[in-house]
A and B are shown apart, each in its own frame.
Chain A
Amino acid sequence: EVQLVESGGGVVQPGGSLRLSCAASGFKFDDYSIHWVRQAPGQGPEWLALITWDSSFMDYADSVKGRFTISRDNRKNSLFLQMNSLRADDTAFYFCAKESKYGWQGMIEGLDYWGQGTLVTVSS
């Protein structure tokens, strides 16, 4: 069974940093790109970042580019999101999600498995 489990959320002050983790199991982790998506309470999802299976390519939404860094450790089946310079509008549930398309051919297809999310609250 495919499982993605996020951790690392919490309350942080504006300007602070937080590192989220995502532990994957039930599939060959190093065969797939993985994404981070967030969703503020009552709002729709917002795609944030993706990293290819071999970490050769990372892509970011403009809203987080330069502040957030996606990375992965294939030996530990783990994904990370380092979040710096956090702002109040970064408050949301953060999900990691598996890309449905095998490998990387320069495009994505859809996010077929998601974690349960971890809540990040940016507040003084």
Chain B
Amino acid sequence: SAVISQKPSRDICQRGTSLTIQCQVDSQVTMMFWYRQQPGQSLTLIATANQGSEATYESGFVIDKFPISRPNLTFSTLTVSNMSPEDSSIYLCSVPLGQGEYFGPGTRLTVT
């Protein structure tokens, strides 16, 4: 398994602002994933972040709204831009490693 940390663990933000979420892994990984989990719902993949190339976004998610950085093999950031209350969710990063995919603890975002 891997040790995955996220910052911040939670935040309350105002409508129209942006928040950058950090994900740090204790080992080098080629792929990192960003998911959204809306209240009481399952996980939905936002994008795949590959080091050295642009992130690949899933249907319904765009780079302008969720820009992603992947400066090295152990770190990635997800920015939630121009937030609205509908963006209130838990945002999780994950990495594939060995025989599974492992998740960070999540960032709980509330937009007022």
Q: Do A and B bind each other?
A: no
